[in-house]
A = this chain, B = another copy of it.
Amino acid sequence: MTFQTPKVACSNCNLRELCMPPGLSSEEINRLDTLVSSRIKVKQGEVLFNLGDDFTSLYAIRTGFFKTSITSTDGREQVTGFQMAGEIIGLDGIVNDHHNCNAVALEDADICVMPFAKIEEYSREFPILQRHVHKVMSREIVRENGVMMLLGNMRAEERLAAFLLNLAQRLHARGFSQTEVVLRMTREEIGSYLGLKLETISRTFSKFSQDGIIEVKQRYIRIIDAEALKKLYDAHSQACH
């Protein structure tokens, strides 16, 4: 993890519409430029923060890809999410001033550090930012509700279909192809996230591939028939009566 002073300001960051609220005046934006206290580079495999670490800041991902996870007493891992450019991590730390999960880079990453005290200060000043922060947290709550539905009610194929569609959609929102996905995580990590074993992930990929729904070449996935995936995801309806 290497530190550096901010070079790129939010005001001319191309991720601004993802990280920052829309509708700010240029004065406000200039003020918010000072929200990012520093920039951190995190290499693949390195940790941004660990369960138990002091919480001081939220982190905006400028480039790179992360997983967050929690570990039980014995060290078993539950991946709680995958985060990409423009997304915020660290919200778990607010409640008790310590982080309640681990954040590991799955790809070399560039992070904007936003001291939470400053976020709160500016939030009091700018209602637009305040609302934005609330929305970011609420969005995370709603996302996790969706994961609970996956884990509680859906079968392996449905879970993986939902996972792929979600990933493709988020990448698409960042200007990447909607049909081509390069996975940054292992089968085991996907499995952990989806409550399945790595062998099941592998088998399900193979099945989708045989059915002509996707093309699989290691970490490279091409979505051939997005409709079929969507149907699987909803088919849930039929499959479970």
Contacts and interface: CB of A to CB of B under 8 A. Distances in A.
Given A137-B137, A142-B92, A192-B152, A236 B127 contact: no
A192 B193 CA distance: 19
A120 B124 contact: no
Interface SS of chain A: helix, strand, loop or mixed? helix
* Best-buried of A92, A127, A140, A149 by chain B (most CB within 10 Å): A149
A148 interface: yes
* Best-buried of A70, A123, A135, A141 by chain B (most CB within 10 Å): A141
Given A100-B142, A192-B152, A127 B137 contact: no
Nearest to A77: B153
Interface of A: 70, 72-74, 76, 78, 80, 91-96, 100-101, 120, 123-125, 127, 130-131, 133-135, 137-142, 144-149, 151-153, 192-195, 234, 236-238, 240
